[in-house]
Amino acid sequence: MSSHEMPILLGPDGDAMNIDASEIQGIQAIDGIDGMQGMDATMALDEVDLFGDPVMENALAGLPSRPLPSKQLLQRLDELRTRGCCQTVAWSRQGTIASVSKDGMSIDLRFLRCSPENGDWELSSPNPSSVISLSSGQFSTIPLAAAGAPIVHLAWAPTGVSEIAIIDALGRIAIVTFSITLNRPFPARKWDADPVDDLHAVVGCYWLPLSQPQNRQLITQHGPAILAGNEYRYTMSQSPVSGPWHPNMAKSAFLCVTTNGLLKLFFPQANTRTEETALELESITSSDDLITHASLCSDRNTLLIALATASRQLRVVRVAIHWGLPPADPKSLPPGSFTLRPSLKEIHVAVTSWLQYGPGQSALDTSTAQLSHIEVLPSTVEPGTQTSTPPVILTVRSYVPLEGSTYHQEAQSIIDRWEVLGDQQQALHPAFEQLGSKNGASASAPTTNRLRKLESIVVPKIIVAISPMQLGKVVCFSFSDGTVQYRDRSTMNEIYHEENTNTIMSPHQAGFQFTNDTPCLQVAFSPTNCSFVQLCEDWTLKWVKMQYPTDDLDSLQGIPQRAVLAALSIAMTTASGLQVSCDDVLAIIRPFTQKRDFVNLLIKEMVKSVNINVDYSEEAHHDQLVRNVQLQMCLSVLNHLGFHGDFQPRSFHAKFAMLALNVRNIVILVTIASNTPGRVKENLNPLDEPDVVNALAGCAVWAVDLLSWLTDCLFGLLNDSHFITLITTLEGKRYSEISEYLRSKKDVSLHLLLCSSTRGFLSAMCRRLIHLEAVSTRAIQYYESNKAAPRQELYHAYQKMQRSVSSSLVKVQEFDKLLGSLTAHVQATYKHGLNTVMKSQQQGGGPPEQQQQRGEAFWKRMQTVFELDMLLGQGPPPVFQSVVKQFFITSLPEFRNKTDPAKLFFANFDLLEVDDDPVSLAKKKAAGKYVDVFKRVELIGGSKATASEAANGGGEKGAAPGQAAAAAAGDGVTKWRRCVRCAAVMEDPNTNLKPGFTFVLAQQRKCSCGGNWGMTSKAAP
């Protein structure tokens, strides 16, 4: 038995003891085992009692039996050891979860979604009509050319429009995009022309990072939250992002290393065509030179590549990418105005052996001489000290005990580490230093790079995945038993294994944890790293999310509650800043909604953490309000957490947020359709297309219905004697009861008007309606005066638009004036409060400038508190008592004289989906009515599907009879898009669309709440 075949023995302190075969033979000779008389010389060592007592049974029989590895885990380890790229489960930044089928012939697409039945989060079932398959089967929207090689690897791009690289066992690469929904793919590159040769098998791949705007190349990282007294103070840091990048800021490029030493670069040109170029990294002359594993990363504007060869060499190279841009600054050139001609240049860095046994280490058996993972981590810069840490290369070797092994040894993984040290000056012999060059200059020592071996880490588990997190500063190791472990990137010390409420950067530090005991073969983390999916041994996918350790959330108080709020706030705002899906964070938050006021406290913490602007009382122009995506995120959280199902009543704050988000969306659509960007205005005018005008007409109908419903609700409050008593009681003794009374009635009309942000949305919508009425009137006059113009369809569309605004039960201009007078009164009230504060500051002394600054800062904070409280459905602040009283006593009665309250009382507001009484909801459910959030028309969907239809529709429950099967068969039945966050629906238009409609529809790439779309068969939940 060789020393490499001997099992490892552990000493008293748990360290490995190296005992080879010769040492054991020596021990046997000393104890007289080999020379004992009267005993069988063939007797085994474990059959002899070394202390002289007769052996009654095997000494190892009393040890607990170790669990043997499953056949599936052994097969997975073989894959990891023989092929560098074999990840068949991947999670995109936007939320699509792609997984390769068991036979490797197709890809299933899933995503997290809010269930339309009850609002809870779940992992969707794969839809057969969106499967990516190697064959051109019936259910394959993206068929790949049939071949004998299975799909073995998936890699998502970091782009905003999701792109995925699909790699088969022969190294052929197809690229697919998801520009509209999470589960509808479109081909960007086919692999038909790729060589069919296993020497081109991919052993490592990488997508280039995205370039940051304004040449800053910095990513803002939210957190950590630092406990100061009883509150958390939020910090922010900026980390540099290293290139190379694609010249187009919105694009990326795909790189891969093949087993025969080629580095391939696939990049999109200006015409969206994907082209490629290649560089030979290594010259392959024998099978020992073949590359088995590779890892790539961006480091100091070059690619840092680590290569592992069959001869157990670890080679490190740097590659520079020159895009062949014109001499002018590429940033000054608009994207798409130049043709890329990239070239690659290689620089060798260092070489060593990846199989190195240090002191106290021993090989368990031949399996530990096989590599399963390699990961290269780029250099980092610490924000506080600005010190740089060198790149690090990690490798993993795993040992799995086999059945029949004599020695009791647990499974374990060995993590080896090397630092890549650069610009190390070589020491010259003094004799060489005395030599000079021909021109008399002294000789200078050359510089070199080297690899420094760091201490190895031994983990008593099998590693199945390595996931860098938090911009590479944290490394997460996933194990085959379903658990995970976090380690610091620099020290490799374990972190996040216990609570730390003093400094919070991850939900783990606030007490959240993964509770999972399901063995797995692969793991893919979500974009937020707050959940993961695992490929189980039975080839099923399981979603695992963080959970709080206690179910008694009502007992959560004090510092623990503030820590939970801080952790969830950082997770949400970080996802928003990086523009990735935060749906799994919402799934973690949802159980906390049972705790009173938790949602309001969370929104306040989010506003505090990133200083979200919620005060628009002084904003005259609505552009900044509409562009405030962080405010949209807050409304989206309110909307989702108060949603309990399609035909279930919403909470007060959910109804408020739903209406606000829809008003914002209509403002955006009308603005986009009416103001075509300059670069396409000459060739494109959306308002010249009937489909666009009809869609805007539907939006106009919804908008005027909203104004009518708001007016009717306000008139109801005006006629409510109890409410009038609350706002007119002397000295405001009952004024504070307004909020509770309105919440009991679920009447959000007053809050929509008093809150400055939603009042701004309503004002912007009114002005868009006035604009649409003017445009439609001019268009009708034009077509009536030009009878020969063959545009009857467009003429009728403008007639519909004009009627929708002009026939409104509430005059839009008058309602806008009502909002204007209310805004003026609010501004006057705020100004009076500021003057009062300034007088009190003058009494405090100090220079006048400081007094003014202190007073303005204090009152600005107070205004933010007032506006945030109203946004969250709390009562109007005390300073608003005169505003509310004047509005209901003077302004609203004057407005009522210009309207017909009787018509408003009998009007139908089904299009708004605001009636949440049991009778209305039951009637809506029986009719299967939904509202298209784009065209604002009613859609009719079935309520239940038969078992056979659900099977044909890919497990989509709730489709109308025959719809699921017909859609799966591709017979042209119109599909629906359903928002994965708020369950809103819109009809998916046909593919043959005109340019103007396509341009406007592109603004609906996401739902009004900011959630992504998932394709479904009609109303299937």
Residue 1006 structure tokens:
């996401």
Q: Are residues 766 and 809 in the same domain?
A: yes
Q: Are residues 799 and 858 in the same domain?
A: yes
pLDDT above 90 for 783: no
pLDDT at 59: 45
- CA 520: distance to chain centroid? 23
Integer Rg of the chain from CA: 34
CA distance 523 to 533: 6
CA distance 743 to 296: 56
CA distance 605 to 225: 11
pLDDT at 241: 82
User: Between the CA of residue 207 and those of 154, 255, 449, what are the distances in Å?
Assistant: 12, 6, 26
Considering only 402-406, 438-442, 538-542, 933-937, which range has the smallest mean pLDDT? 438-442
Assess contact for 479 and 464: CB atoms under 8 A.
yes
- Nearest to 99, CA basis, from 72, 130, 77: 130
776 strand-pairing partners: none
CA distance 16 to 236: 44
pLDDT above 50 for 852: yes
Say if 32 falls within a structural domain.
Answer: yes
Strand order in the sheet with 313-322: 291-299, 302-309, 313-322, 343-353
Which one has a higher pLDDT value, 420 or 787? 420
CA distance 626 to 799: 29
Residue 947 structure tokens:
């078992």
Question: Which amino acid appears at position 128 of this protein?
Answer: P
- First CA to last CA distance, the chain: 63
- Nearest to 280, CA basis, from 298, 297, 305, 301: 305
pLDDT at 9: 37
- Nearest to 688, CA basis, from 598, 755, 782: 782
Q: Are residues 896 and 932 in the same domain?
A: no
pLDDT at 401: 82
pLDDT at 559: 93
pLDDT at 164: 96
Q: Are residues 960 and 899 in the same domain?
A: no
- CA 865: distance to chain centroid? 30
Considering only 192-196, 202-206, 1008-1012, which range has the smallest mean pLDDT? 192-196
- Nearest to 300, CA basis, from 410, 397, 378, 354: 378
Segment (H or E) for 156: strand 151-156
Sign of the torsion angle spanned by Cα atoms 593, 597, 600, 601? negative
pLDDT at 732: 66
Structural domain boundaries enclosing 952: 928-1016
Question: 3-state DSSP: the chain helix, strand, coil percent, rounded to 5?
Answer: 35, 25, 40
Say if 455 falls within a structural domain.
Answer: no
pLDDT at 907: 93
How many CB atoms sit inside 10 A of residue 183's CB? 26
Say if 819 falls within a structural domain.
Answer: yes
pLDDT above 70 for 284: yes
Mean pLDDT, the chain, whole residue set: 84
592 strand-pairing partners: none
Domain boundary among 196, 224, 255: 196
pLDDT at 848: 78
pLDDT average, residue stretch 234-250? 87
Q: Are residues 784 and 823 in the same domain?
A: yes
User: Can the peptide bond before residue 591 be classed as cis, meaning omega within 30 degrees of 0?
Assistant: no
pLDDT average, residue stretch 412-418? 95
Assess contact for 968 and 953: CB atoms under 8 A.
yes
What percentage of the chain exceeds 70 in pLDDT? 81
**Long-range contacts: 719-722, Cβ < 8 Å, 24+?**
none
- Nearest to 640, CA basis, from 913, 916, 982, 978: 982
Q: Backbone dihedral region of 613: left (phi > 0), alpha (psi from -120 to 50 degrees) or beta?
A: beta
- The structure's pTM equals 0.87
How many CB atoms sit inside 10 A of residue 108's CB? 21
Q: Are residues 975 and 840 in the same domain?
A: no
Q: Are residues 849 and 983 in the same domain?
A: no
Q: Which residues contact 57 (CB under 8 A, 6 or more apart)?
A: none
pLDDT at 764: 96
pLDDT at 844: 64
Domain boundary among 17, 41, 56: 56
Strand order in the sheet with 503-504: 231-240, 218-228, 503-504
Q: Are strands 131-133 and 140-143 parallel, antiparallel or unpaired?
A: parallel
CA distance 289 to 1: 29
Sign of the torsion angle spanned by Cα atoms 123, 126, 132, 135? positive
Q: Are residues 13 and 144 in the same domain?
A: no
pLDDT at 41: 39
* Count: domains in the chain: 4
Considering only 39-53, 383-397, 429-443, 837-851, which range has the smallest mean pLDDT? 39-53
Say if 301 falls within a structural domain.
Answer: no
- CA 885: distance to chain centroid? 46
pLDDT average, residue stretch 536-565? 92
How many CB atoms sit inside 10 A of residue 755's CB? 28
CA distance 414 to 368: 8
Domain boundary among 22, 41, 56: 56
Confidence of residue 943 (pLDDT cuts 50, 70, 90): very low
pLDDT at 588: 97
pLDDT above 60 for 544: yes
Residue 538 structure tokens:
């039975």
Confidence of residue 19 (pLDDT cuts 50, 70, 90): very low
- Nearest to 87, CA basis, from 184, 206, 250, 3: 206
Alpha helices per DSSP H over 289-418: none
Say if 536 falls within a structural domain.
Answer: no
Length of the chain: 1021
- Nearest to 1, CA basis, from 25, 17, 32, 18: 25
DSSP 86-124: ---EEE-TTS-EEEE-TTSSEEEEE-EEE-TTTS-EEEP
- Nearest to 294, CA basis, from 259, 345, 252, 254: 259
Q: What digits encode the pLDDT tens for the residues 327-366? A: 665 555 565 667 899 999 999 999 999 987 655 455 556 6
Which one has a higher pLDDT value, 25 or 358? 358
- Nearest to 417, CA basis, from 460, 368, 375, 456: 456
Say if 144 falls within a structural domain.
Answer: yes
Assess contact for 884 and 870: CB atoms under 8 A.
no
pLDDT average, residue stretch 709-734? 89
pLDDT above 90 for 35: no
pLDDT above 80 for 834: yes
pLDDT at 240: 81
Residue 419: burial class (beta carbons within 10 Å; 0-12, 13-18, 19+):
middle
Q: Are residues 884 and 957 in the same domain?
A: no
pLDDT average, residue stretch 836-843? 79
Residue 120 structure tokens:
């809870």
pLDDT above 80 for 779: yes
Say if 851 falls within a structural domain.
Answer: yes
Secondary structure (H, E, C), 882-909:
HHHHHHHHHHHHHHHCCCCHHHHHCCCC
Assess contact for 369 and 399: CB atoms under 8 A.
no
Residue 417: burial class (beta carbons within 10 Å; 0-12, 13-18, 19+):
middle
Which one has a higher pLDDT value, 25 or 802? 802
Most confident of 36-45, 567-576, 983-992: 567-576
Confidence of residue 690 (pLDDT cuts 50, 70, 90): very high
Q: Are residues 739 and 773 in the same domain?
A: yes
What percentage of the chain exceeds 90 in pLDDT? 62
Which one has a higher pLDDT value, 372 or 238? 372
pLDDT at 757: 96
Considering only 256-265, 671-680, 982-991, which range has the smallest mean pLDDT? 671-680
pLDDT average, residue stretch 936-950? 55
pLDDT average, residue stretch 778-791? 82
pLDDT above 50 for 880: yes
CA distance 425 to 447: 4
pLDDT at 1016: 83
Q: Are residues 733 and 826 in the same domain?
A: yes
**Collapsing DSSP states into helix, strand and coil, what is residue 595?**
coil
Q: What digits encode the pLDDT tens for the residues 593-647? A: 989 899 999 999 999 999 999 999 987 678 899 999 999 999 999 999 999 999 9
Segment (H or E) for 162: strand 162-168
CA distance 369 to 355: 7
pLDDT at 975: 83
175 strand-pairing partners: 165, 189
Say if 52 falls within a structural domain.
Answer: yes
- CA 986: distance to chain centroid? 23
- CA 415: distance to chain centroid? 29
Q: What are phi and psi of 383, to 5 degrees?
A: -60, -40
Alpha helices per DSSP H over 786-889: 792-806, 812-843, 848-871, 881-886
Which one has a higher pLDDT value, 219 or 788? 219
Q: Backbone dihedral region of 261: left (phi > 0), alpha (psi from -120 to 50 degrees) or beta?
A: left
pLDDT at 24: 36
How many CB atoms sit inside 10 A of residue 360's CB? 11
Q: What digits encode the pLDDT tens for the residues 489-539? A: 999 999 998 899 999 999 999 999 999 989 999 999 999 999 999 999 999
pLDDT at 1018: 63
pLDDT average, residue stretch 752-766? 97
Q: Are residues 873 and 948 in the same domain?
A: no
Assess contact for 264 and 256: CB atoms under 8 A.
yes
- At residue 123's C-alpha, the angle toward residues 118 and 126, to 5°, is 120
**Collapsing DSSP states into helix, strand and coil, what is residue 64?**
coil
pLDDT at 850: 81
pLDDT at 407: 57
